[in-house]
Amino acid sequence: MAAPPPGSNTTRIADSRVCTLGEGVLWHPRREQLFWFDILGKRLLSQQDGQPLEWALGERASAAGWIDSDRLLMASETALSIFDLRSGARERICALEADNPLTRSNDGRADPWGGFWIGTMGLEAQPQAGAIYRYYRGELRQLFADITISNAICFSPDRRFGYFADTERQRIWRQALDEQHGWPSGEPQLFIDGRVAGLNPDGAVVDALGRLWNAQWGASRVACYDSNGQFLQAVAFPASQISCPAFAGPDLSTLFATSAREGMEDDQLAAEPHAGKLFAVDVPVQGQAEHQVVL
């Protein structure tokens, strides 16, 4: 991924390829390379030396974590798989609701213990058809059931909390985590209630100071909240359906965001010609490096 212009703080198009449903943007800290998904286009996208890269996946995939320099743990509609970036080969390691053709994977992220949290949802966002799981040391365990649109999976830098959202319910919850192995401890607590302002929480990431940055579907922005869930600021983007943020770049101070054009009518697309593209903006904060998945 090309470095941003020094001192730039203007939102810009980082990649002009259009995704029907962009998601799962991930900065690989060893490769210093950005990856993201077009879920409905069934492809993984990236750039290298300023040139576009993409892999056709043959199924809907949505999120990944990094295992080592050349392999990702990838979540798709049927499985968690090891994806080899050199060959494009995939090795399935466990099924993910493979017996349910009405669901697919959605938001996911590696946790500080080397586990991987992954949410599912109905293909048509059927009510409570999805769930959130954690893959850890060879075991896939369901953490939360009855989720309609799983999102905002991320973790505090002090390892005390995980976060998750149900976009349909317009809420983000904070979940205390066991220090030793990172499993949920106690019941999740409401962290942000988007119903108050009519906001739809999508993907999220936590910065190095513990502030949560949440993409808000339909609001053309990524909003920042402090560790108590109080709104601090928002970064505007030139597309309404912003779906997933990530801190990237060598110093983790560039905020990238995917977007989507799913469900938009012709007049909406005319008004939003950049819908579905990848955006970037330099911010005066530093993100966390993405955690490594431990198999």
With 80 as the cut, is the pLDDT of residue 295 above it? yes
Taking alpha carbons only, the member of 6, 36, 32 closest to residue 277 is 36
Q: What is the share, in percent, of the chain residues with pLDDT greater than 90?
A: 96
Burial of 195 (0-12, 13-18, 19+ CB in 10 A): exposed
For 123-177, what is each residue's pLDDT tens digit?
999 999 999 999 999 999 999 999 999 999 999 999 999 999 999 999 999 999 9
124 annotated binding-site participant: yes
In a domain, 89, yes or no: yes
How many distinct structural domains can be found in the chain? 1
- 104 appears as a binding residue in the annotation: yes
For residue 167, the SS3 value is: helix
- Report the Cα 97 to chain-centroid distance in Å: 19
- The answer as to whether 288 is a domain residue is no
**What is the C-alpha to C-alpha distance for residues 164 and 144, in angstroms, rounded to an integer?**
10
pTM check: above 0.85: yes
The per-residue pLDDT for range 11-68, each reduced to its tens digit, is 999 999 999 999 999 999 999 999 999 999 999 999 999 899 999 999 999 999 999 9
Structural domain that includes position 24: 12-282
Question: What confidence score (pLDDT) does residue 288 get?
Answer: 98
* Residue 295 belongs to some domain of the structure: no
Which residue's entry shows tokens 């409905």? Answer: 40
Question: Annotation-wise, does 23 bind a ligand?
Answer: yes
- State pLDDT tens for residues 86-114: 999 999 999 999 999 999 999 999 999 99
In a domain? residue 177: yes
Active-site positions? 202
Task: Give me the CATH number covering residue 175.
Answer: 2.120.10.30
For tokens 């990944």, what's the residue? 64
Q: Is 228 annotated for ligand binding?
A: no
d(CA 172, CA 166): 7
Q: Which of 250, 251, 240 shows the shortest CA–CA distance to 279?
A: 240
Among 185, 187, 158, 160, which Cα is nearest to 173's? 187
Identify the pLDDT of residue 9.
Answer: 62
